[in-house]
Amino acid sequence: MSTTDDIGRKRSATIVEVAERAGVAIGTVSRYLNGHPIRRGNRDQIEAAIAALGYRRNAVAAAMKSDLTNTVGFMVPSLSEFHSPVLEHLSRRMRAGGRAMLSYCHNSDDASVVEALDFFDMHRVDCLIMDGHAGVDDRIRDLVANGTPVIFYDNDVPGLPVDRVFVENRAASFRAVSHLLDIGHTRIAVLTGSTDNFSARERFEGYRQALDGRGLSVDPSYVLDMHWNEDEAYSGMLRLLSLAEPPTALFCCNYNMTFGALRMLKEHGLKVPDDISLVSFDDVPLFQLHDTGITAIAQPLEKIAESISGIVESRLSERGVFHEPHVITLNCDIILRGSTRRMLTPDELARYGQK
């Protein structure tokens, strides 16, 4: 099959036409052409399309793969109150170094994650920054083996040969829950993120260790997996307050769930900290505007971006030189505001005539 341009001259088929004829993504054709493993069915379709179109790979374009494009990929579930500032800080630093950033939001959808990886592969980014996502291990290994450094932040997938920049999820959560214990709370509930998420497990472990250190066991009725979701946290808060012995304090493992809990409390005429003390992982500007202010664990967003950009510069300035993966763990601050209060002792309750 021959192809012609607008004035009738023969021209070579393009990778786009190969992908369309084979019925696969452009990134899949790119992986095939670069010698990466793909599913047998896709390989057969691509080879048939190449034969039918008479496709010949452009040697110049192939050689360009080894050159820097001065673009960096940024791949996240959403541009949230957490990810957006990181992107802003990173973009500023990349721009200062003569690099541009391409961003892609995958909404934690598995198919979208694969499409995102194909997108960045096709655009030949020099480096990829992403939150760790389970289920695409082989694809990440392919990128790294093909010379594209990958940097995880916010969430990890252990065992992959990537660089990592994280915060002290477990230690910060331990300190936050210890603060609630220090002011007399023992019935402390937790709204956790998805249990298949590394950061969620680390934050829950900090909660568990804080209780364990005071000789307290975890009450399963006080532990709710709300999948990082505001609406689920709203419902979860209602369930907690409906218990025969509702919690006197709450630890939310991200700001979305804190919003959901606060919305439920407000709609039911309950107040923080009068009716329940509350601490959030993540500090966002709106917490300062709450009537009492929300005590929160503040992630060092600018420091996260600085650490990531330092790794990018190191990797791209020493291409072809093997280095063990970087692992950077950053400290968090706990911002004390008015959303927690000390529990009165039985003697104090009797003295003040409170039940």
Domains and CATH numbers, the chain: 3-64 (1.10.260.40), 67-167+301-330 (3.40.50.2300), 169-299+335-351 (3.40.50.2300)
Percentage of residues of the chain with pLDDT beyond 90:
67
Mean pLDDT computed over 324-349: 88
* Whether the bond into 273 is cis, omega within 30 of 0: yes
Q: Is the predicted pLDDT of residue 158 greater than 70, yes or no?
A: yes
| pLDDT confidence of residue 353 | 57
Which of 9-13, 286-290, 306-310 is most confident? 306-310
Strand 10-11 to 3-4 pairing: antiparallel
Which of 43-47, 186-190, 204-208 shows the lowest per-residue confidence on average (mean pLDDT)?
A: 43-47
pLDDT, tens only, 11-56? 567 777 888 899 988 778 777 776 667 788 888 898 898 888 887 7
What is the C-alpha to C-alpha distance for residues 273 and 282, in angstroms, rounded to an integer? 18
pLDDT, tens only, 140-152? 998 998 889 999 9
Banded pLDDT at 351 (limits 50, 70, 90): low
